[in-house]
Each structure stands twice: as C-alpha cells, then as structure tokens.
Structure 1
Amino acid sequence: MSFFLSKLLPQLIYPVSLTIWLSIFAGLFAWRGHKRLAGIALFLSVALLWVSSMQVTADYLSISLERKYLPVPIESSPVADAVVVLGGGVGSAEPPRLAPDLNQASDRVLHAARLYRAGKAPVVIVSGGGIAWQDATKPITIPMKTILQECGVPATAIIMETNSLNTYQNALETKRILEKQGLNRVLLVTSALHMPRALATLRSAGINAIPSPTDFEGIDREQRTILDWLPQANILERTTRIIKEYMGLAVYRWRGWIKEGD
C-alpha cells in the first residue's frame, strides 16, 4: 500500500495536475462571482503549463542534477567487481511486440554491456522487480537481460535481482547479492538524472559504488531558437520526470535512506 501511495501522491502535484487544479479553482471562482481570483488562477494555470513545457526549463532543471556526475569514457572507467545496472529503459516483449522494446532510458543497458565487453567487470547485476499493480511475474529486468545477451554479455555473467520496487530496495537487494557473491566494488549504471539519488542510496546502504552515468538529457546550447521557448508536450513529460527526481531526493533524505554527505 505504501508503495502504491508513493507512486500515486506525487501525481497530484506534477505540472499537469497543478494546472488542472488551478483551472478547477478558476471555474469555481468564476461561478461564485470572484472574477479577479478566477483570472489569477487561470493565468497561473496557463503560465505553469507553458513554463513547464519549455525546452529551456527542462534543460536548466536537468543540468542541475545531471552535472553532479559527468560521463566517463569507457576506456577511462575503473575496474570493479561488478557492474550494477538499475532497471528501466526496456519494455517487455508483449503482443504485438516480438522482442523487447528499447525506450527512454535504454542507454543504461547498452552502457552496462559496453563496460562488460571492455573488461571493466566480470559480472553484470541487473536490479529491478515488477510493478505492484501490474503483473509481478514480469520483472522489468527480464527484457534487460535479453538485450544484454544480444549485446554480447553471456547469461553466465548476468545476475538477476527481481524483488526490488524502488531505488531504496534496489540498494538493499543488491547489497545482499554482493555479500553473498563476495563482491565489493561496483560500477553503478543508471540515467544521469537518477544518478544523484541512486548513488547516495547505494552508498548509504554500505555499497562501494562508483558512478557511471548515461542517458544525459540536458544539453548546453550556445544559441536558442524560438522553439526552445514554446510549449512542447514531450518537454512537459521530461520536466515532470525531473521534478519527480527532486521529490525523490527530498523524500529519501526525510526517510533516512540517504545519509548526510552522500
């Protein structure tokens, strides 16, 4: 239940939800004859939706998180006992799909495979279970394993962790695997946007993790075009994911899952 609420409650304060709330209030104020308040609420709803949908907004917010850990060339990455790649970025091979589907954060899987093929670690630990209100028998890590094998990582070098439902549980379950396998130092692979929270959580769990971020979204642009200032639906989705990460960091610190200084 707590996991369900942790996924549901943030939906109520994301930009789209806040825009809807403000629009509802605008309608209520207008109905009650409060034209000035209705105008303010309507203006705020439009302004919030517009700003949240701008490329410049998404770039600024994502860079503030992603630049904490910069990308490292594969050849310059240190050697570790394992590569730990957190679940995401690959959809399962469900009809009408004939094979796993590479989507938004699929760079994680490809980056983990490159690290393995470069000899940076002898095993790849894939961490992530199913979604509680979906089919729990289909962990998100299963299609990730398929893609890893297609990228040249043998099945014998892949360790599956299929119980975790969030980043905190990723850390706890991965810690158990590392202790059982006698492994210590790991290269942590996840999206750059997710890396600050993921790395801090794993380190707080006692894992000797080295960041190996991928899937960078924030781009430094010397010149902007008019499109960067106009609302775009795909940018709104991206801004929402960035806000989710900031909220996740705050909640993890509040719950003590991230120690001070991590």
Structure 2
Amino acid sequence: MFFVLSKVLWFLTAPSNLLLLLVLLGAGLALRWPRLGLGLSAAAGLTLLVGGLSPLASLVFGPLEDRFPAFRDDGAPVAGIVVLGGAVETGLSAVRDQMVLNDAGERMIALGDLARRYPEARMVFAGGSGRLTGDGAVSESTIVRRHAASLGVAPDRIAYDDKSRNTRENAAFSAALAKPKPGERWLLVTSAWHMPRAMGCFRRAGFTVTAYPVDYRTGSGAVALHATAGDGLFELDIAVREWLGLVAYRASGYTEAVFPGP
C-alpha cells in the first residue's frame, strides 16, 4: 500500500505537475470567476518560471548532498559494495539490447570503478522494478546481469536483488543477500542527494554501511541559475521528492530520524 500511495501522491505533488495543474485549474475557474482564475494561473505560472530558472533547486539540493562527506579511502579493507538501482532505463535497455543509463548513471560508473579497485570485495546490486504496474516489467538487476561485462565486471561476481521497489526494500533485501559479518566494511553507493534516506533505511535494517555518494547536482556551497526552466524544474522535482520521502519514511518507521546524518 505504501508503494502505491507514494507513486500516486508523488504524481500529484511534484512541483512541476502541481503548478501546471494549478495553471489549468485557474484557466478553468476564469470562465466563471475571471479575477480568481486569472490570478491563480498567473501565480502558478510565475512560480513555475521562478522554480525553473532561479537557484531554488540548488538551495533545496545542497543540504541533502552535503549531509554525508565523499568517501576517502583510508586503507581499511572493503569487504563488500552495495550499489542501489535507479540509474538504468530498463525499457530502453531491453529494446536496444544495451545498458541505457539516465541522469543517475554515476552509480553504474562507480560499480565498475569499485569492482576494479577492490577485486576481492563482494558486490550486491539492488534494483527491482519501480513501476506501479510490475507485471511483465524488466528489473534493473536483469539488465545489469546481461551487461555487467560492459562495465568490466564479471556478471556472476554480483549478487542481484531483483525484487526491491523502493529504498526500504533495497536495504532489507541487500542485508539478506550480503549477510554482513560484524566489523566488515561495506560501501553503499547511491546519489548524494539520496544518501540520507538510504543510510537511514540501512541502519534500520541492521546493515552497517559506509556512505559512498555519487551523482552530485550542486557544487560545494554553490548556488546556480539554470539555462532552461525545464532543467531547473527537473532538479527541483527530485529534491522536493527526496525531502518528502525523508518525512514519509520517518513517519512510517522506515528510518529512525527525519534527516539521518553521519
């Protein structure tokens, strides 16, 4: 139920969708109440423009990405590596018979890089299908298994979680696959903006991991304008979704803090 509700509610509350719906609602209201309708459309349209072109997305992203520091190898042995899905376009990958990545593709780059740097480390890839209608959907794990060699990794070196649909399930199913021993160091690879929620879920699952954030959207302390409103709104949608996800996961008991930190 949580999975279905999260998908439906997010469609309605994503800033770009919500503001566009308000523009359309205002246009409809203007047929009967011109001042109210036009005012609502104008306000929503202006907010769309500001949200898309202003530094707002950078300001919302910053605290998420800076919560966990970048990983620095201190020489301690790495027993294993968990890479979270979310970077593979499964439909296109299946149709084109190659691994097609989205804007979070750095997760897969890190998978190949870490496999090379730590040849003795065990590896887990956590990626089922996030589609609301999962029947017949190709999982990310299926695609990665087919094309892991293109990343320089032997497919049978990776343990695949092909059932998880969200971050909570990523953590629970990865823990079941990895069965980490006390004192082992496991790296967790995901986007920097997603790391707080991911770390909270892994802690809740009893799986102690070290953050390995990738896929940064902002520079350190930087506030950036966007060249197109589409770019800014895309980034704003991601950041707002993550903040809402943090609140929802804490309210549901999936994490022990609203904003997990180091």
| TM-score computed with the length of structure 1 as normaliser | 0.86
Q: How far apart are 1:151 and its partner, in Å?
A: 2.5
1:18-29 maps to which residues of 2 (within 5 A)? Answer: 18-29=18-29
Q: Write the letter of the residue equivalent to 2:142.
A: I
Give the TM-score of the pair, scaled to structure 2.
Answer: 0.86
SS in 2 for 1:216: coil
Is residue 54–residue 226 contact of structure 2 (8 Å, CA) maintained in 1?
A: yes
What are the ranges of 5 or more consecutive residues in structure 2 without an aligned counterpart?
none
- 1:197 paired with 2:194, answer no
Task: Give the equivalent residue in structure 2 for 1:30.
Answer: 30
User: Equivalents in 2 of 1:208, 1:27: separation in Å?
Assistant: 52
Deviates more, 1:64-73 or 1:167-176: 64-73
Per the alignment, residue 118 of structure 1 pairs with: 117
Aligned to 1:235: 232
CA distance in 2 between partners of 1:221 and 1:177 (Å): 38
Change in CA separation of 1:110 and 1:135 when aligned onto 2, cut-off 3 Å: farther
Code of the aligned partner of 1:253:
R
Write the deviation string for residues 146-171 of structure 1: whole angstroms up to 9, x where unpaired.
45432222233211111111100111
Matches within 5 A, 1:11-90: 11-35=11-35, 37-54=36-53, 56-73=55-72, 75-76=73-74, 78-90=76-88
- For 2:208, the equivalent position in structure 1 comes to 208
Q: Which has the larger displacement, 184-193 or 248-257? A: 184-193
Task: Please say if residues 124 and 178 of structure 2, whose CA atoms lie closer than 8 Å, have aligned partners that are also in contact.
Answer: no
Contact 1:185 1:207 in 2 (8 A): no
What's the C-alpha RMSD, in Å, of the aligned pairs?
2.5
Whether the 8 Å contact between 1:127 and 1:160 is mirrored in structure 2 is yes
Cα distance, 1:51–1:173 mapped onto 2, change above 3 Å: same
How many residues align? The count is 255
Aligned to 1:174: 174
Separation in 1, partners of 2:230, 2:255 = 33
Shift in CA distance, 26/61, structure 1 to aligned 2, threshold 3 Å: same
> Partners of 1:25 and 1:78 in 2: how far apart?
57
In structure 2, how many angstroms separate the alpha carbons of the residues matched to 1:223 and 1:253? 29
Distance change >3 Å, CA 223–CA 58, structure 1 → 2: closer
| AA matched with 2:89 | G
Question: Given the superposition, is the C-alpha separation of residues 173 and 223 from structure 1 closer, same or farther in structure 2, using an over 3 Å criterion?
Answer: closer
Distance in 1 of aligned mates of 2:16 and 2:31: 23
Moved over 3 A (4+): 75-78, 134-137, 145-148, 181-185, 220-224
**Counterparts of 2:74 and 2:145 in 1: how far apart (Å)?**
25
Report Cα offsets for 1:62-110 as digits up to 9, x if no partner: 112101112225x447433210000121224333x23111221111111
Q: Which amino acid letter does the alignment assign opposite residue 214 of structure 1?
A: V
Q: Secondary structure at the match of 2:37?
A: helix
State the Cα deviation string for residues 87-134 of structure 1 (Å, max 9, x = none).
121224333x23111221111111122122112751110002123414
Flag the 1:120–1:55 CA change in 2: closer, same or farther, 3 A: farther
The DSSP-based 3-state class of the residue aligned with 1:94 is helix
In the alignment, is the contact (CA less than 8 A) between 1:129 and 1:136 conserved in 2? no
| Conserved 8 A contact 1:50-1:231 | no
Structure 2 equivalent of residue 254 of structure 1: 251
Unaligned runs of 5+ residues in structure 1 are none
Instruction: Give me the whole-angstrom Cα distance separating, in 1, the residues matched to 2:126 and 2:173.
Output: 8
Residues 83 and 121 of structure 1 are in contact (CA less than 8 Å); yes or no, is this contact kept in structure 2? no
Say which SS state the counterpart of residue 144 (structure 1) adopts.
helix
